[in-house]
Structures are given as structure tokens and as C-alpha cells.
Structure 1
Amino acid sequence: MADQKWDKMLVRTSGWLGGDGLYSMPLNGVRRTGGTGKAETFLWFSDTIVGEIEEDSLQPGWEMIHNSVGYLRGNSPDPSKIDFHWGKDEIGKPAAMFHPNTAQAQPGDYYWLGDGFFNHRRDSTLYLFAYRIKKMPGGVYPFEDVGVSLIALPKGSRPPFKNHRQLDTPLFQKDSQGKGKVVFGVAVLANTIGAGAPKPDGYVYVYGVRGIGKELLVARVKDEAFEDFSQWRYWDGNSWNIDIHQAAALTNRVSNEMSVTFLEDGRVLATYQLDTDAPTVMVQAGQTPVGPFQPAKKIFETPEIYNDLDFYTYNAKAHPHLSKPGELLISYNVNSFDFFKDILVHPNHYRSRFIKVKL
């Protein structure tokens, strides 16, 4: 069912007004149901609106930037305990928090953000996967992802993250031997002692999506070797393979952003939006981080698409550490096919919505 308190937490009228993406990480790195303890939650967003709203009307001078971050104190949806941050350009206007600056980055590229990993074994570095995006005017979608980078935030660093690092990765393939595009970083499952995993094996499992069928793939690497891509291995259905092109589909019809989280009994739960942007939120239980997965189960139909507006919903994912025991808090994004018209008159529509399900 919809969770109105979490929904309302992101309704703002000044500064940060909304965004999509929305991944979250407790700053103790323990993504487990039952709360964060005293840890803050770090939130990160992709495309973000910054501006002012008066009488439900977006005022002139608003900006859309490509990513932003936030901090939530505690694990309840209290609007007074969340702060948002973004960058500034050379004249002080709002800008993305993170800009591509790797060797492969090209002028005009920008980042949308994938999932992340809090690495206890590498001095509590927080890693974020970042999709390098290029504008492609004239197409059905005026953008294209062209690479996957890794952003490393040192222990304790805060906005504007002047000391962060960026790495190019081999986790993007434009076409995987005729099987379609491969993009890793859509979900991360840390099966480690530091992350509070129920049966830790010391590996970090990083999930990817392949092709138009939205096949779910998985790679793994020891947490201490996270930046050494020569040590990454890809599940080929029988064993861990050095060849990314041999990755096997665990399931399909998942979303480009999603989550895979542990259940209390050691199984995993994939949470996603069917085909990325269908109005159906799905969950799928697996015996292990590589499956086998049970048949997918529909848990929610997003109501926003059934109003008289041109809205669509996409990229559902779970936030276990913000969930109460026996429940799971799930977010999904809302957008409009006529974005630049609708944002002026429905300026609060472009933000995540939340549902709560019983496990």
C-alpha cells in the first residue's frame, strides 16, 4: 500500500524540488531491515529540479541538473531531518554534484547514478556507480548511455566531495556478442560481515541489465579487490567466468534501476518495475545471490498513470534499512511524457513515491 508519510517527505517548495533515481545507503553500510540505528542515510538522485514553487506554480529561473544528494537523519520520514545538496557552476547557478572527469569522458557527457556500496574493507569508502550519458538529439529518447564509471567517496567526505575519485570501468558493453547492451551497477548486494549479511562470504554482488529483454546479470568480487576489475567474475549459469559476454540471465523483464536485498532467512529479494517503466512493481525471491529465482510476483500497480495527466512510472527499488521488521519500503519514480509543460503546472509530480509491503 502507499506510504503517505514517506511520499510527503519529498514534497518541497524551495531549493530541491524533486528528482528521480533515489538510491539510499546508511552511513554504517548495513542495509538490513529494522532501521539504521544512529546512522545517517545518504541518498542520491539522478535528474533533479532546483527552483521555487509559489501557489503550486514553478517559478521562472528553475534548473534541471543531472544528479544531487541528500542526508536523512534517523529512519523516519521527517521532512525537517532531510537536507539536499547539489553543485554550482562557475557563476553560482545550480549544477550537478558529479561531472564525468575520467579518461574516457567526453565534453558534454553527464552522469546518472546507479546503486552503491559501502566498503568496510577499504577504509569505509562509499562507491557509487555512475552511468555516463551523452545527449543524442533527434531520437525517440534524446540521450544514450555510453559507459559506466565508479565514483569513490572517501570516508567521512561531505558535499561538495572535492576529494572524490572517478574510475572508468569495463562494466558497460555497447553490444554483448549480439545479445544487446550490458550495463552493470543497477543493484548491489554486499554479502559481507561489515554489511550485516546473514551468511557472509566476503563477496560483493553487482547486478547488471542486458538487452531489450531486460535480462538480469550478476558479477562478484571480493570487497578488498573492488577497484581491481581483473578480479571481477561473471556468473555464467554454472560457474564464475572472467568473460563478461558469458554472463547468464538470472531472470528478465527487470528495470534499469532496482534492488536485490537479503531476507532474514538468507534468501534474496529482487525488487523492480516490470520492463523498467510498466506500471507494475514486482518482487522475485532467490535462493542465493545468483538464484535460482522463483516466479516474479506482482505487488503493486502504480496509480499515477491512471489519472488524466501524461504521467508514467519507473525504476522501483527497495530501501531495507528504512523498513520496519517484517516490512519492505519501496520507492518508484514518477515522470511525464510532456515533462517541460507539466513541470510548470504540476511542479511536485517529479519525485519518488513510496509503498510499504509485508514480507
Structure 2
Amino acid sequence: MKFRRTLAFSAAVTASLALAGPAAATNRPLRILGATADTALTQRWQDFGRRPGVGWAAADGTYSTRLPSGLDVWLYNDTFFGPVRADDSLPESSPFTHNSAVLSTPDAKHILTTIAPGPPGHPKSLVGPTPNSPGEPNDYWYWNGDGIVDGGKLRVIEFEQAPTDDPPPFNFAWTKTKLATLDPYTFRLEKLTDVASVGNVQWGTELTRDGAWTYIYGVEGEGFTKYLHVARAPIGRLDGPWQFRTANGWTADPAASARLLGNVGSSFGVTPVGGEYLLTTFGSGLESTIHAYHASSPVGPFTGGETIYTAPEAGNGRYTYNVAAHPEISKPGELVISYNTNSEKLADLYANIDNNRPRFVDLKLSR
């Protein structure tokens, strides 16, 4: 499960970083020595999207977690399905769903199969309605937030969206948040329950286990001003009730949740590593630079904000967004993160669907 893998990852990194002795490892802050494009993992997803018969051609989202089966599940949002042409173009009649999943081996060296309900050639969204095409939205739909195995079930945060009159591609708005409970073997949806949706906070952009708690990170705000919030639930009880972090402690009132950090992206990673908590994120808005913040506890305070990587894909109508961390596939002394790529014009994706596949970056860590 993600819990055990996260603890194993943190312990392995702690051991690998303690090169100067216990006192030095405790007193020195974690350093990011470098960030390098993981071209092998990025290529693996490109090859998977081009493979005939696999379904998934490209998507955004890119959350991952370990399943009881030992495999990893990758949770994606707007998903284009193949077959993809030899030049990476995609017919405009290709199937499209608002969310899907893909299975891989634990090291992500083998990407295995697409999980999407529906008969062959007619996939459906894993949760919620299935659109006719990207240009014909439903009255509402769900985009995945983070997911984790909790209480023996796969729990996935779902952000309900509705269309707006804004110009494409940003003609949508978040309306409420749900928690989907799925069977971790069959991926059958068992129930969909409400999550606190007050204060304009979208809870569940990141789920991180530490000690006896699952920490639930949320984002408040739209556009170019976003803030981080934190809630928590006892392990095995992600379906509630939650406690919400205030400036002075914890409360059962979601409306009292405090802003703990500004200038975060719509999605980010928070990873226990080397005795610290490393937050990786784009800034608010559609930036091309990824920043890192450090904290001594899962609720902060988060400090730093140094630029660690600049996405080369941004520009000329393309943009980058949605950082996610993947400790379950990371080597000791490293952390794998991902981000999404997209285009302001839907036609650009059909002309080259690789414009919508995830990119991966390896962070080198030290004391």
C-alpha cells in the first residue's frame, strides 16, 4: 500500500542521506542537488500510448499509489483513447473520458493495461458521466484528485466540475468534492460520498500518510492566487470525519481551516523524506518553473520555494501544470515527480497527442 511504500521510501532516503553522521543528518536541511528529466520513464508512457490495443493514448492527472496486489495504479483525468497514428496524431472521432486508470509494475518499468469501464472501443469514465467528445461537455463530470488504499479500499478524491461560459480551454469550474470508494482489484465503484466543500478549498490534491494519520492537502482559490490547506483523518478512516488545520491547532470545522502557504499550483506533491517534508509545486497560474518547499512537519511551516526545474515544453500555446510526487517508484536518494502538458488549442492535441502525455523528473537529494 502507499503507506508502507512511503515509509520504506522515507527510511531508505534517510539512510542514504545520513552520510556525514547522525548529528549532521539531523541538523542539516535537506538539499536538492539537481533535477533531471527522466527521459526513460517519459518515453515509457509515450510508447504505451502508441501501443495498439492498450486504450490509453494520453491524459493529464498522473497520480499514483500502490495497490494490495503489489501493482501501482495511475489515476488520470481527461483521457484520450487510441489507436494513435504513426505520426502521433489522433482521429477526432477517438473515444474520450473524463477519468481513467492504468496499471504498472511496482518499478513502473512495465506499464500494463488501461482500466476504463465499458465494452471494447467504447470506454467510460471510471467515475461519473462519460462525454461524447472533449468539445461536448456534460452537465457535470469528475476529475480525479489523489488516491490511496485506506481501510482495504481504493479511495480516490473526485472534483466535480461544471461547464462555464468562459472561452475554451478554461470553460469549466469546480463545484464540489466527493470521495470515491472503489474495489482495489476490480475497480468497481462502490460508493461516492460528500467531502467538505466550504471556503473554496478543493480537498484532496495530495494524500500523504505519516504516523497514525492520513494528511489531506487542499487548494483554495482560482486563477493566479492559490493557497495550501491541510486536513487529516485517522488511518483507515479517510471516509470521515476529518480534522482541519487552523493557525493554532485542529478543528472539526472546515470553514476554520487556515491558509498555510501561498503561490501553490492546482496540484502538488508532499513527501516525507530524510526526516523532512518536501513540497514540490508549480506556482499559482500556468508557470513553467517547479519550486520546492521544506517543512519539519506535514503541516508546515513550509519554507524555501527555490526553483528546481523549468519545464521546456511551455510556450507557443502549450502550458505545463499539476506536479505529483511518486515515492513508490523512487530510488534511495532520489524522488520522482511528474507534471502535465497541454495546449490551448484542442486541435494541437489531435495533431500530436504527445502534447498531452505526462513528463517525469528525477530529483537528487542530499544533506
TM-score (norm 2): 0.80
Mapped pair 1:84 → 2:108: no
Q: 1:290 is matched with which residue: 283, 299, 302?
A: 299
Superposition RMSD in Å: 2.1
Q: 1:325 is matched with which residue: 309, 332, 346?
A: 332
Structure 2 residue identity aligned to 1:225: R
Alignment partner, residue 80 of structure 2:
49
CA distance in 1, matches of 2:112, 2:83: 18
CA distance in 1, matches of 2:161, 2:112: 28
Shift in Å, 1:149? 0.4
Shift in Å, 1:336? 0.2
* Aligned residue pair count: 314
Q: For residue 355 of structure 2, give the secondary structure of its aligned residue in structure 1.
A: coil
Change over 3 Å in CA distance of 1:224–1:7 after alignment to 2: closer
Asked whether the equivalents of residues 5 and 77 of structure 1 are also in contact (C-alpha less than 8 Å), the reply is no
User: In the TM superposition, what are the counterparts of 1:19-98 in structure 2 within 5 Å?
Assistant: 19-28=59-68, 39-56=70-87, 57-78=89-110, 81-88=111-118, 93-98=122-127
Alignment partner, residue 253 of structure 2:
243
Structure 2 residue identity aligned to 1:183: Q
CA distance in 2, matches of 1:142, 1:336: 14
Alignment partner, residue 218 of structure 1:
230
Shift in Å, 1:16? 1.1
| Unpaired stretches in structure 2, ≥5 consecutive residues | 1-35, 130-137
Deviation sequence 1:225-280 (CA, Å, 0-9, x none): 32233xx2211111102222221222111111111110132x21111111152101
Mapped pair 1:228 → 2:237: no
Percent of residue pairs identical? 28
Q: 1:166 is matched with which residue: 192, 195, 200?
A: 192
Mapped pair 1:2 → 2:37: yes
Bigger shift: 322-331 or 133-142? 133-142
Structure 2 residue identity aligned to 1:4: T
Q: 2:180 is matched with which residue: 125, 147, 151?
A: 151
TM-score (norm 1): 0.82
Asked whether the equivalents of residues 277 and 315 of structure 1 are also in contact (C-alpha less than 8 Å), the reply is no
Asked whether the equivalents of residues 95 and 121 of structure 2 are also in contact (C-alpha less than 8 Å), the reply is no
Alignment partner, residue 252 of structure 1:
262
Mapped pair 1:132 → 2:160: yes
Runs of 4+ in 1 over 4 A off after TM superposition: none
Structure 2 residue identity aligned to 1:356: D
CA distance in 2, matches of 1:114, 1:225: 18
Q: For residue 84 of structure 2, give the secondary structure of its aligned residue in structure 1.
A: strand
CA distance in 1, matches of 2:65, 2:97: 22
Asked whether the equivalents of residues 61 and 75 of structure 2 are also in contact (C-alpha less than 8 Å), the reply is yes
Change over 3 Å in CA distance of 1:138–1:273 after alignment to 2: closer
CA distance in 1, matches of 2:249, 2:153: 29
Change over 3 Å in CA distance of 1:132–1:210 after alignment to 2: same
Change over 3 Å in CA distance of 1:303–1:149 after alignment to 2: same
Q: For residue 10 of structure 1, give the secondary structure of its aligned residue in structure 2.
A: helix
Deviation sequence 1:44-63 (CA, Å, 0-9, x none): 10001012222313235212
Which structure has more relative contact order (CA 8 Å, sep 6+)? It is 2
Structure 2 residue identity aligned to 1:243: D
